[in-house]
Structure 1
Amino acid sequence: MDSSPKEDLMTPSRFHIRDLPKLIVMAYHRWMASDPARLSAVVAYYAVLSLPALLVIVVNSVGAIWGPDIVAGNLSTQFQDILGPDNAKIIQEMILSTELSDKNILATVVGVGTLLFGATGVFYHLKVSLNQIWELKLTDEITWYKLAKDRLVSFGFVLVLGFLLLVSFILTALISILSEFLSSKLPEFVIYLAFTLDWVLSISVITFLFALIFKYLPDAKIRWKTVWVGAFLTAILFVVGKFLLALYFGATNPGSTYGAAGSLILILLWVSYSCLIFFFGAEFTKVFSIKYGYGIIPYEHFSRVKKKEVIIDKESQSAKIKP
């Protein structure tokens, strides 16, 4: 392994829009080489395990301000749009069971602690996957302090997710009120206006979330300019992919083959496909950073590593490194 790839020493050049296709192709080849299917499957597995805990925290925290019924209704609608009304029942059942009990203080404390640990699992493993994609490796042994810090950062992203959800609900409500007000005066125009505003809102919220993930989740420093470019492209791909996945699930219903477990399989597939898109965005961000943003600088106790294929000649038993 080479701990100081030459590509990071390239002098940054000025970005031109005509360079975008070349960057996308370069990111695609690196994305394919990073085994994205395996990484996506791992994150999807932990996402399903973390889903009940995430729902409990989001519904109860955001619901304290916006109202738990409204939050639960919006979440149910979102999952129905993606998975369909029948397959989203498992999510609705999870949401209905998100009310925290205060009958036993000890049980509640233990339950909340378990929920916090479970909810941070998906972000922790997302961090591990991003470190692998950005070729970051810990040079020292993992300490309890490092693990605790990673979990704390992951929990911070759970809170950020809840905050963005709250902001999204408020803005969606304002757009709905504005659309209803204008519908009587501009009936044709308001349809396009509401659609455009909703699309811009989705792109903006998702871009902000992805930017925070790229900036603070991996164990490396990266410039904000690079982060915003990568997050914006990833958000567009994510929204388009979400729409295409909804069409695919609605037309084929791949979960029907698995019977009672079909809903769970669809959730796994949706998270896995979404992670594939997200990891491609992370790979694009790395490529863009190397070429236009002065590269990715590892934190202390971390280093950049570049894997190389070693070809062994059976006859001479000599090894040849393939760059």
Structure 2
Amino acid sequence: MKRLEHISSLTRAILEEWTRHPVPRLAAALAFYTVLSLAPLLIIFAATAGLLVRGEAVQAALTKRFSYWVGDEAAALVERLLDSVIDPGFGLLPTLLGFLAMIVGASTVFVELQSGVASIMTDGAQGRGIKKLLRARITSLLTLIGAGLFLATTFLLESLLALAKRLYPASLPQLETVWLGLLDLLDLAMVAFFFSALLRFLPPVRVSWRQTFLGALLGALLFSLGRTLLGLYLLHGLVGSLYGAAGSLIVFLLWAYSSALVFYLAVITTKVVVSAGTSVVEQENHSLLGTFLL
């Protein structure tokens, strides 16, 4: 009985926090910045993941991953972007300038993400100044690199699963079902871990790994559900016929928006858990990750 009361009060607190914050607007802004920065994000992800995996394999794995998450149309858009931005014929100066612009563009997404997290966790009471802006940029860049390494780790684990699959007879009819189930479990676990890391390091308040568990798990489950619902919508929807050539971009924008909503729900859940676990949430002038930077 007490457990049910606890779940009920926790759910009410989460819903109250959701209505107190402009979550749809925050998610829309994050989705917009994600689409604008898609090309630099992909290149930095590919470059970082390339430290652990061969470049050609990274590009193929990225395309496959987005096909799994968003669908074939959006995956084709990702593939075209990766092909168009990798051009070895550029000179040194344009390459350096392009790289700097890429860093700024890609980090903008994570600055917006960090700002949204801080707005929710502190009820809008955020600090200002050049030092805070610099710290936000550096933190977002490190988060970006971490995301690339996270993707590389996912690719490696998927490769190990594929190797294990080849060791067993292909004639077993149940093998394909087991394989797909393992891929889904791996995806769920990796997304939950990534959400947990973001919830641990991005907020400007102290959050323990244990306090991120519920929000990260809820976010990963809803992320997986959203992928399934988006797939059904694309199967029966009219996105391609309504928007024509821009259909793949619209699909990606829908996925980015729904994913942002899910993540901010995870942030709100974590805030409720933190508030329930401590009588006073200790405010810091910077995020936990930022303490190692400045």
In 2: Cα distance, 1:123 partner to 1:221 partner:
19
- The match for 1:134 among 121, 128, 137 is 121
The answer to whether the 8 A contact 1:82-1:249 is kept is no
1:291 is matched with: 276
Residue 231 of structure 1 aligns with an amino acid whose one-letter code is A
2:143 is matched with: 157
1:183 is matched with: 169
The answer to whether the 8 A contact 2:66-2:75 is kept is yes
- The match for 2:24 among 29, 37, 40 is 37
Residues 1:201 and 2:161 aligned together: no
In 2: Cα distance, 1:99 partner to 1:23 partner:
48
Change (3 A) 1:294 1:212: farther
Change (3 A) 1:55 1:289: same
Change (3 A) 1:183 1:19: farther
1:266 is matched with: 251
In 1: Cα distance, 2:144 partner to 2:70 partner:
23
Query: What does the per-residue CA deviation read over 1:34-72, in whole Å, with 9 as the maximum and x for residues that have no partner?
Result: 222111110001001111001111223323542222222
1:168 is matched with: 154
The structure with the larger Rg is 1
Post-superposition shift, 1:83? 4.1
1:121 is matched with: 108
1:147 is matched with: 133
- The match for 1:110 among 78, 97, 102 is 97
Post-superposition shift, 1:88? 3.6
Change (3 A) 1:255 1:43: farther
Structure 2: segments with no counterpart, 5+ residues: 288-294
In 2: Cα distance, 1:301 partner to 1:148 partner:
11
- The match for 2:46 among 20, 35, 59 is 59
In 2: Cα distance, 1:16 partner to 1:150 partner:
39
Q: Aligned with 1:97: secondary structure? A: helix
Change (3 A) 1:44 1:255: farther
- The sequence identity of aligned pairs, in percent, is 27
2:213 is matched with: 228
Q: What is the root-mean-square deviation of aligned Cα atoms in Å?
A: 2.5
Larger strand proportion, structure 1 or 2? 1
